[in-house]
Chain A
Amino acid sequence: MSDTLLSLRGLTKVYPAVIANSDISFDIGAGEIHALLGENGAGKSTLVKTIYGLHRPDAGTMTLNGQPYAPSEPRAARAAGVAMVFQHFSLFDALDVAENIALGMENPPPMRQLAQRIRDVSNAYGLPLDPARILGDLSAGERQRVEIIRCLLQDPRLLIMDEPTSVLTPQEVEILFQTLRKLRDEGTSILYISHKLEEIRALCERATILRLGKVVGACDPREASARELAELMVGTALKPPTRAAGAGAAQGEVALEIRNLSAASPRAFGTALSEVNLVLHKGEVLGIGGVAGNGQDELLLALSGEMRTAPGSVLLAGEDVAQLPPNERRARGLLAAPEERLGHAAVPDMTLIENAFLTGAVREGLERHGFVDWRRTRGFAEKVIATFDVRTPGPDRIARSLSGGNLQKFVIGREILQDPVVLVVNQPTWGVDAAAAAAIRQALLDLAAKGAAVIVVSQDLDELMEIADRFAALNAGRLSGSVPVEGLTIGRIGLMLGGAHDMEVARAEAG
């Protein structure tokens, strides 16, 4: 084994009311790919931000290459040879690739030289980039390349990667791994943060596992089983969701149909939907997979009614609803829960009662002659809270004060309790703790078992494999044909996510 590059001793970071990191100690070797494994909220992000100088620890020390290391800001970290690829990109949509890269460097060369170096380095690592393109026009995978090249141009000794594969197709993941292995062979250390066990087993030589802010174990992930890692990470054995026998097997009547739906994105730098077709039956869970930014948001907007589309493109139980506004669709039983909890699915600074009224007004009869019936609305909010085990002191609390998992339970529960005919959810368990995620998945399955049709849009393929009956892939605004989940391999999914030309492949598979 190689020498130690970075060693952490007793790092502690306290936020009001929560200890994000508590007495964290471990070493990262030179030329090692070191995994930092943990659930959402385990303290991974806090720890890497400390290493990158974004905040200072309340206690503990770091040593880099034998020297004390206490970066006061990211610039100091970069100067010491520490680079980071962010989970939520630190990129600028309106600037071009070269400008984006220059912003992440300490002493960038003049723009023309920089552009040449970007071309050289990106080709050398198999991640080709055009320095003149405007960032907003790039795909998620290309945007990540920009981040990586930005780091590589500074010859880092330690490269931190925070959940890098959440935006990549399986094929892109493979390319990324090749790049990372090449870097390791050149002597760069990599701190690889993830909650995806298989990736870590495929890539990393050592793993440190965090739970609730503490180190709970270390191992060689190539030797440990996924199950062992999972139990270390989660703490308790999780109950996988259960399905009623024969659910999804029998096809009910058609609940929702999308016909040749094409629509421009309402957002700058959004993705247009292009000839989307799908048929959804009662009692069925359709999983729609795809890398972020391939039209997921737009599809949800087109179904929720926030975006109107051509007449005849969205049919609910045979009725054309494509031109109807959100509340008319709700009245007919088409409900939705968007990805962004704070600010889209819920109003952060309003109480849970007000947030219950937000989407519940029509179907729950909370509105009388244009006036809000606050008594009934409170009742509805309390029912959501009780039924879905939302942990909060009461319905008078504002949405922002809830944890991610609890708010998500409230948002999904609010729609489920309205007894939808069709429910569309986008990223239902993103950033949610494991217990809440399991509860949400179970609730979606129960809803389908009662005869509702459910569309789950998610970037988490494992989640889709777990709860969906059929699977379709969204790529650059195009939706593949749907295939049964049973017997579907990751390789095949990868092909489906790869592009529209695979639709035929998928269809053949289905037939």
Chain B
Amino acid sequence: MAMIRLERRADPSNFWRYGAPLVAVLATIIAGGIMFALLGKNPVEAIRTIFWTPFTGRNAAYYLSQLPIKAAPLVLIATGLALGFRAGIWNIGAEGQYVIGALSGAAVALALYPMEGRWLFIICIAASLAGGMLWAMIPAVLKVRLGVSEILVSLMLVYVAENILASLAVGAMKNPEGYGFPGSRNLSQYPAVANLDIWSGTGIHWGVIAALLSVLAGQILLSRHILGFQIQVAGLAPRAARFAGVAPGRLVMVCMAASGALAGAAGWFELAGPSGIVSVDFNVGYGFTAIIVAFLGRLHPVGILLAGVLLAVTYVGGDVARSSLGLPAGSIQSFQGMLLFFLLALDVLTAYRIRIGRKARA
């Protein structure tokens, strides 16, 4: 009788640790092609439209500039989330922290409008960091003090944040000169706080710089700093962490605060630049996609950078495919979900090897 068994490797496989994401991407492209075929689209055409055409065709320069714009929030949020995920702390409400961060920045900006001075931009960034962090501290404190699941609380707070956004967009933050249309003033047209391209037309705004800095800081933290060591121990063996003197509650607070703050800043950079306006549909799910980015990047800052760029490609390509092939918007999201499935499925090969057939004699 043929059988398939998993057998734990003595040491984790380095080949699969780095190879699994690549194989997962390939498998997703194939499965995605099948999905498109089922939808009655030409799979080769669809895949090419997503991954190739935007960056080689006539409008390549424009689409290339979209990559850093889409990748920056993903990388910024995912780097923060990865710290918590490594420690076994599941902040899945980054979307809410992103919204609250953006609103905090906007509150400061709109309150001070039309004051001049570039220092306002710094103040707004600080406000967004604080806003995202405080929003994340709600699940963190409940987790530490009362043992309430941070998963459920952080997620519930996404819906609360969205409700706040919706009410502010048509209420307190509505543009007084907007002729009754919902939505705030366009902050990207308010020079003191606007987050514009540093080099015009490249898509590289201050959020991109922040994302790169966060990758660098995350990398140093995890590989050299004692906090990074503690985070990893806590995730791999909680009892050993306590034995080594890690205070689990403090770690929850630190990880939640860091991920909340980064998500909040990502929200502000998006609002003050690419988006511009506080509106009901301001948030587009970066906080959730960042979870995929974090896992695809192996919870590793440099990996997250690469994964963020890849997912940015699917966003940009997806937009193109939507307009030129009529692919539905949901297809990109299911594409991304599938990517995470394949990655999780292949992950097993890092720690285990697959044995097929009857056991060989040693």
User: Is there an interface contact between B362 and A347, defined as CB atoms closer than 8 Å?
Assistant: no
Complex alpha-carbon distance, A14 and B11, angstroms: 20
Which of A84-92, A241-249, A315-323, A337-345 faces chain B?
A337-345
Complex alpha-carbon distance, A343 and B225, angstroms: 22
Total chain B interface residues with beta-carbon distance under 8 A: 23
A336: chain B residues within 8 A (beta carbon): 243
Within 8 A of A (CB), among B217-258: 224-227, 229, 232-233, 236-237, 239-240, 242-245, 247
Complex alpha-carbon distance, A398 and B359, angstroms: 26
Contacts A58-B361, A325-B247 given; does A349 touch B229 at CB 8 Å: no
User: Is there an interface contact between B240 and A343, defined as CB atoms closer than 8 Å?
Assistant: yes
B239: chain A residues within 8 A (beta carbon): 338, 340, 343-344
Contact string, B29-48, partner A, CB cutoff 8 A, digits 1/0?
A: 00000000000000000000
User: Is there an interface contact between A345 and B229, defined as CB atoms closer than 8 Å?
Assistant: no
Contact string, B1-33, partner A, CB cutoff 8 A, digits 1/0?
A: 000000100111000000000000000000000
User: Number of contact residues on A: which range applies?
Assistant: 35 or more
Say whether A327 faces chain B, with CB atoms less than 8 Å apart. yes
Complex alpha-carbon distance, A397 and B236, angstroms: 16
Partner of B233, one of A17, A358, A370, A398: A358
CB < 8 Å A-B pair total = 80
User: Is there an interface contact between A359 and B236, defined as CB atoms closer than 8 Å?
Assistant: no
Within 8 A of B (CB), among A255-311: 304-306
Complex alpha-carbon distance, A330 and B245, angstroms: 10
User: Is there an interface contact between B362 and A371, defined as CB atoms closer than 8 Å?
Assistant: no
User: Is there an interface contact between B243 and A359, defined as CB atoms closer than 8 Å?
Assistant: yes
A16: chain B residues within 8 A (beta carbon): 7, 362
A346: chain B residues within 8 A (beta carbon): 237, 240
User: Is there an interface contact between B243 and A306, defined as CB atoms closer than 8 Å?
Assistant: yes
User: Is there an interface contact between B225 and A344, defined as CB atoms closer than 8 Å?
Assistant: no
User: Is there an interface contact between B237 and A344, defined as CB atoms closer than 8 Å?
Assistant: yes
B225: chain A residues within 8 A (beta carbon): 370-372
User: Is there an interface contact between B243 and A344, defined as CB atoms closer than 8 Å?
Assistant: yes
CB distance from A125 to the nearest CB of B (A): 38
Contacts A16-B362, A58-B359 given; does A354 touch B229 at CB 8 Å: yes
Say whether A326 faces chain B, with CB atoms less than 8 Å apart. yes
Within 8 A of B (CB), among A373-400: 374, 397-398, 400
Within 8 A of B (CB), among A421-455: none
User: Is there an interface contact between B362 and A14, defined as CB atoms closer than 8 Å?
Assistant: yes
User: Is there an interface contact between B362 and A350, defined as CB atoms closer than 8 Å?
Assistant: no
B232: chain A residues within 8 A (beta carbon): 350
Partner of B359, one of A14, A343, A371, A397: A14
Within 8 A of B (CB), among A189-239: none
CB distance from B228 to the nearest CB of A (A): 8
Contacts A350-B232, A354-B229, A372-B226 given; does A401 touch B237 at CB 8 Å: no
Counting chain A CB atoms within 10 Å of each CB, which of B10, B12, B245 scores highest? B245
Partner of B226, one of A15, A371, A397, A400: A371
Say whether A348 faces chain B, with CB atoms less than 8 Å apart. yes
Contacts A16-B362, A306-B242, A344-B237 given; does A361 touch B12 at CB 8 Å: no
Within 8 A of A (CB), among B331-362: 359, 361-362
CB distance from B10 to the nearest CB of A (A): 4
A330: chain B residues within 8 A (beta carbon): 245
B237: chain A residues within 8 A (beta carbon): 342-344, 346-349
Complex alpha-carbon distance, A344 and B93, angstroms: 31
User: Is there an interface contact between B247 and A349, defined as CB atoms closer than 8 Å?
Assistant: no
User: Is there an interface contact between B240 and A401, defined as CB atoms closer than 8 Å?
Assistant: no
Contacts A14-B359, A16-B362 given; does A357 touch B240 at CB 8 Å: no
Within 8 A of B (CB), among A16-68: 16-19, 58
Complex alpha-carbon distance, A346 and B243, angstroms: 9
User: Is there an interface contact between A326 and B245, defined as CB atoms closer than 8 Å?
Assistant: yes
| Known A58-B361, A327-B244, A361-B226; 20 more pairs at CB < 8 Å | A14-B359, A18-B362, A304-B243, A305-B245, A306-B242, A306-B243, A330-B245, A340-B239, A342-B237, A343-B239, A344-B243, A350-B233, A357-B229, A358-B240, A359-B243, A361-B244, A372-B225, A372-B229, A398-B11, A401-B11
Q: Interface of A with B (CB < 8 Å)?
A: 14-19, 58, 304-306, 325-327, 330, 336, 338, 340, 342-350, 354, 357-359, 361, 367, 370-372, 374, 397-398, 400-401
5 A-B pairs whose Cβ atoms sit less than 8 Å apart in the complex: A19-B362, A326-B242, A361-B226, A370-B227, A372-B229
Q: Interface of B with A (CB < 8 Å)?
A: 7, 10-12, 224-227, 229, 232-233, 236-237, 239-240, 242-245, 247, 359, 361-362
